[in-house]
Structure 1
Amino acid sequence: MSPSSDAQEYRDYGLESLRNASQSSLRTKLKIFTDVETPYAEFDTEDSPDSLFDEISPAATSSLPAMLHAPPIPGLFFTPSLLLPVQLADDVTHFCLDNYFNRPGVNQIMLFGVASSSNAGAPLSGLPPVLTTLLSTVSSLLEPTLPPEIHALLFPPNPTRARQAILNLYHPGEGIIPHVDLLRRFGDGIVGVSFGSSCVMEFARVDKAADDAAAPLQLFLPERSIIVLSGDARYAWTHGIEKRTADLVADAGVHRVVQRGVRLSITFRWLLPGADVVGQDD
Structure 2
Amino acid sequence: MSTLTTHTRRETLDLSIFTKLGSTHEEPSPDSPNSLFDEDIPSAVGPPVSTTAAPFIPGLVLSPTHLIPEALANEVVHFCLESYFQREGVNQIMLFGTSASATGFPPLLTTLLATMASLLAPTLSEETHQLLFPHSPSLTRQAILNLYHPGEGITPHVDLLRRFGDGIVGASFGSGSVMRFAAAAEGTGYTDTVEDDSVQPVHLYLPERSMLVLTGEARYRWTHGIERRTADLVDGVRRERGTRLSITFRWMLPNADVVGDA
Q: TM-score range by the shorter chain?
A: 0.7 to 0.9
CA distance in 2, matches of 1:279, 1:215: 39
Identity %: 56
Which residue in the other structure is 1:114 paired with? 98
Which residue in the other structure is 1:30 paired with? 16
Which residue in the other structure is 1:77 paired with? 61
| Residue 172 (structure 1) shift | 0.4
CA distance in 1, matches of 2:154, 2:99: 30
- Mind listing any 5+ residue stretches in structure 1 that lack a counterpart? 1-7, 40-49, 117-122
Question: Would the alpha carbon gap of residues 210 and 104 (structure 1) be closer, same or farther in structure 2, given more than 3 Å must change?
Answer: closer
| Cα contact 2:182–2:195 (8 A) shared by 1 | no
| Cα contact 1:61–1:244 (8 A) shared by 2 | no
2:51 maps to which of 63, 67, 81: 67
| Cα contact 1:56–1:243 (8 A) shared by 2 | no
Question: Would the alpha carbon gap of residues 152 and 210 (structure 1) be closer, same or farther in structure 2, given more than 3 Å must change?
Answer: closer
1:15 maps to which of 5, 21, 29: 5
1:2-42 CA-to-partner distances (Å, cap 9, x unmatched) read xxxxxx222xxx516x83324xxx35142354123734xxx
CA distance in 1, matches of 2:45, 2:197: 23
2:117 maps to which of 122, 139, 157: 139
1:151 maps to which of 113, 116, 129: 129
Which residue in the other structure is 2:190 paired with? none
| Residue 56 (structure 1) shift | 10
Which residue in the other structure is 1:90 paired with? 74
Which residue in the other structure is 1:47 paired with? none
| Residue 214 (structure 1) shift | 4.5
- Mind listing any 5+ residue stretches in structure 2 that lack a counterpart? 20-26, 187-193
Choose between structure 1 and 2: higher helix proportion: 1
Question: Would the alpha carbon gap of residues 54 and 216 (structure 1) be closer, same or farther in structure 2, given more than 3 Å must change?
Answer: farther
CA distance in 2, matches of 1:280, 1:218: 39
CA distance in 2, matches of 1:31, 1:167: 12
Q: Residues 198-237 of structure 1 correspond to what in structure 2 (within 5 A)?
A: 198-207=176-185, 212=197, 214-237=199-222
CA distance in 1, matches of 2:128, 2:102: 19
CA distance in 2, matches of 1:182, 1:100: 24
Q: Secondary structure at the match of 1:9?
A: coil
Question: Would the alpha carbon gap of residues 113 and 184 (structure 1) be closer, same or farther in structure 2, given more than 3 Å must change?
Answer: same
| Cα contact 2:172–2:207 (8 A) shared by 1 | yes
CA distance in 2, matches of 1:245, 1:146: 32
Which one has a bigger Cα radius of gyration? 1
CA distance in 2, matches of 1:27, 1:77: 31
Q: How many residues align?
A: 245
Q: Secondary structure at the match of 2:49?
A: coil
| Cα contact 1:171–1:262 (8 A) shared by 2 | yes
Given the two structures, how large is their TM-score scaled by the length of structure 1? 0.80
Question: Would the alpha carbon gap of residues 55 and 259 (structure 1) be closer, same or farther in structure 2, given more than 3 Å must change?
Answer: farther
| Cα contact 1:19–1:260 (8 A) shared by 2 | no
Which residue in the other structure is 1:247 paired with? 232
| Cα contact 1:164–1:270 (8 A) shared by 2 | yes
| Cα contact 2:13–2:88 (8 A) shared by 1 | no
Question: Would the alpha carbon gap of residues 61 and 112 (structure 1) be closer, same or farther in structure 2, given more than 3 Å must change?
Answer: farther
| Residue 63 (structure 1) shift | 4.3
| Residue 115 (structure 1) shift | 2.4
Which residue identity is paired with 1:38?
A: S
Which residue identity is paired with 1:30?
A: S
CA distance in 1, matches of 2:14, 2:173: 19
